[in-house]
């Protein structure tokens, strides 16, 4: 038997960064995101040789270990080991032997929530194999704890919930890890128009989001008002974006993205740089009405809203910087698991 899963990556449309502690614990956060047809995949094949094999095909990395209840972290595929450790500790209490194969459709550090989505997919494969009694909120919260507590990786909370639930969601974040996912019922015509007009552009660069996120958290702890005010505005942006997509006022999205981008850059240093600024300005000059960096910032994917038929001129303008536009569709389904 083989136990498989896949979970979708996400585009953050508004509110990014307000899901990071301590901001959301003190003030409450809000984010609007949408999952897209790029995925993290996981497959588990049980073994009977007392070994654990990890194979990350997209990264060309692998590891073979003796089966035990707890695997040590050494910088090699620690995300996968972290999921295994938590599953064994919390549910099984005995060593397992298996081969886990993973693949992600976007590079690590690209700003689409790849690491969190991979954790969700791997959890899904284990849940399918071991028949774990986990609902959507439980899987998302468990994935969050594995990354943020067990592995001590800096980051927010939106990615785990987006990957698990799927679709277009308005998410609210509060203290004590409370998260409320509000699925939005958006007309297909509005989503199709958004797909047509919203470009997803990979800058061919990646970044370590943890450094930016840690600085953002420090700015809140140290009560740096400019950074805190910027996060307040981004939370406001999420509400604006929700109302706009629900009402079908799609052409306002560019202005709302522009509003958020100008405030996002004030949350922490390193969110933008000269290359990102140059790409952004070129897109605006070619007809885009707004955009943003995806994820924490510093590199990876960017999105641009291109009204009418300006997308073609925008593509021509920004691809001169060496990146490439990535095709996608919005997806309505989140984590999916199956057995063969």
pLDDT of residue 216: 86
Shared-domain flag, residues 197 and 147: no
Better pLDDT: 155 or 56: 56
Contact 150, 85 (CB under 8 A): yes
Shared-domain flag, residues 218 and 307: yes
Shared-domain flag, residues 198 and 77: no
pLDDT of residue 271: 85
b/e code 200-238 from CB counts within 10 Å (16+ = b): bbbbebbbebeebbbbbbebbeeebeebbebbebbbbbb
pLDDT of residue 155: 87
Shared-domain flag, residues 145 and 225: no
- Arithmetic mean of pLDDT, 52-72: 96
Confidence of residue 213 (pLDDT cuts 50, 70, 90): confident
Count CB neighbours of 25 within 10 A: 16
- Give the CATH number for residue 177: 3.30.230.10
Question: Of 63, 78, 159, 177, which one is the catalytic site residue?
Answer: 159
Shared-domain flag, residues 115 and 160: yes
Better pLDDT: 211 or 319: 319
Residue 340 lies in a domain: no
Shared-domain flag, residues 201 and 181: no
Closest C-alpha among 10, 53, 48, 63 to residue 32: 10
pLDDT of residue 215: 85
Burial, 131: exposed, middle or buried (Cβ in 10 Å; 0-12, 13-18, 19+)? Answer: exposed
- Give the CATH number for residue 282: 3.30.70.890
Q: Is 150 a catalytic residue?
A: no
| Boundary-marking domain end, from 161, 185, 209 | 185
Range of the domain at 68: 3-185
Shared-domain flag, residues 235 and 313: yes
Better pLDDT: 162 or 208: 162
Q: What digits encode the pLDDT tens for the residues 9-21?
A: 999 999 999 999 9
- Arithmetic mean of pLDDT, 111-124: 96
pTM, two decimal places: 0.94
Residue 207 has pLDDT above 70, yes or no: no
Residue 113 has pLDDT above 90, yes or no: yes
Residue 32 in tokens: 């609007």
Taking the CA atoms of residue 48, residue 54, residue 57 and residue 61 in that order, the dihedral angle to the nearest 10 degrees is -140
| Boundary-marking domain end, from 149, 169, 185 | 185
Residue 332 lies in a domain: no
Residue 23 has pLDDT above 70, yes or no: yes
Q: What is the mean pLDDT of the chain?
A: 94
Residue 313 lies in a domain: yes
Shared-domain flag, residues 41 and 155: yes
- Arithmetic mean of pLDDT, 300-316: 96
User: Domains in the chain: how many in total?
Assistant: 2
Residue 108 has pLDDT above 90, yes or no: no
Residue 116 lies in a domain: yes
Report the range of poorest mean pLDDT among 102-116, 153-167, 258-272, 306-320.
258-272
Shared-domain flag, residues 200 and 317: yes
Residue 239 lies in a domain: yes
Rounded to whole angstroms, the Cα distance separating 143 from 179 reads: 13
Residue 339 lies in a domain: no
| Boundary-marking domain end, from 185, 220, 242 | 185
Residue 237 lies in a domain: yes
Residue 208 has pLDDT above 70, yes or no: no
Give bridge partners of residue 256 from the DSSP assignment. Answer: none
Residue 295 has pLDDT above 90, yes or no: no
- Arithmetic mean of pLDDT, 125-130: 98
Shared-domain flag, residues 40 and 162: yes
Shared-domain flag, residues 141 and 195: no
Confidence of residue 294 (pLDDT cuts 50, 70, 90): confident
Residue 194 lies in a domain: yes
Residue 95 has pLDDT above 90, yes or no: yes
Rounded to whole angstroms, the Cα distance separating 78 from 71 reads: 9
Shared-domain flag, residues 254 and 304: yes
Q: What digits encode the pLDDT tens for the residues 229-252?
A: 999 999 999 999 999 999 999 999
């Amino acid at each position: 038997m083989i136990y498989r899963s896949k979970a979708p990556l996400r585009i953050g449309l508004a509110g990014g960064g307000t899901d990071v502690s301590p901001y959301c614990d003190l003030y409450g956060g809000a984010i609007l995101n949408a999952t897209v047809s790029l995925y993290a995949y996981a497959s588990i094949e049980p073994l009977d040789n007392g070994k654990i094999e990890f194979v990350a095909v997209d990264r060309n990395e692998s590891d073979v270990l003796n089966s035990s209840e707890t695997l040590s972290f050494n910088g090699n595929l620690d995300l996968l080991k972290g999921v295994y450790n938590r599953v064994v500790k919390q549910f099984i209490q005995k060593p397992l032997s298996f081969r886990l194969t993973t693949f992600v459709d976007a590079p690590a550090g690209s700003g689409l929530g790849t690491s969190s989505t991979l954790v969700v997919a791997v959890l899904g494969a284990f849940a399918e194999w071991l028949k774990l009694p986990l609902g959507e909120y439980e899987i998302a919260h468990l994935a969050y704890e594995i990354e943020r507590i067990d592995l001590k990786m800096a980051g927010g909370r939106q990615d785990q919930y987006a990957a698990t639930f799927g679709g277009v969601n308005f998410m609210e974040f509060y203290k004590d890890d409370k998260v409320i996912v509000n699925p939005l019922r958006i007309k297909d015509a509005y989503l199709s128009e958004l797909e047509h007009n919203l470009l997803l552009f990979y800058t061919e660069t990646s970044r370590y989001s943890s450094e930016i996120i840690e600085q953002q958290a420090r700015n809140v702890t140290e009560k740096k008002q400019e950074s805190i005010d910027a996060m307040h505005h981004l939370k406001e942006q999420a509400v604006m974006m929700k109302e706009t997509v629900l009402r079908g006022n799609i052409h306002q999205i560019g202005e709302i993205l522009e509003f958020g981008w100008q405030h996002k850059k004030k949350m922490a240093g390193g969110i933008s740089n000269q290359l990102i600024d140059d790409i952004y300005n070129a897109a605006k000059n070619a007809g885009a009405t707004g955009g943003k960096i995806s994820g924490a910032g510093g590199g990876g994917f960017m999105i641009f809203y291109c009204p009418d038929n300006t997308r073609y001129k925008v593509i021509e303008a920004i691809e001169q910087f060496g990146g490439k536009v990535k095709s996608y569709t919005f997806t309505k389904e989140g984590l999916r698991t199956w057995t063969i």
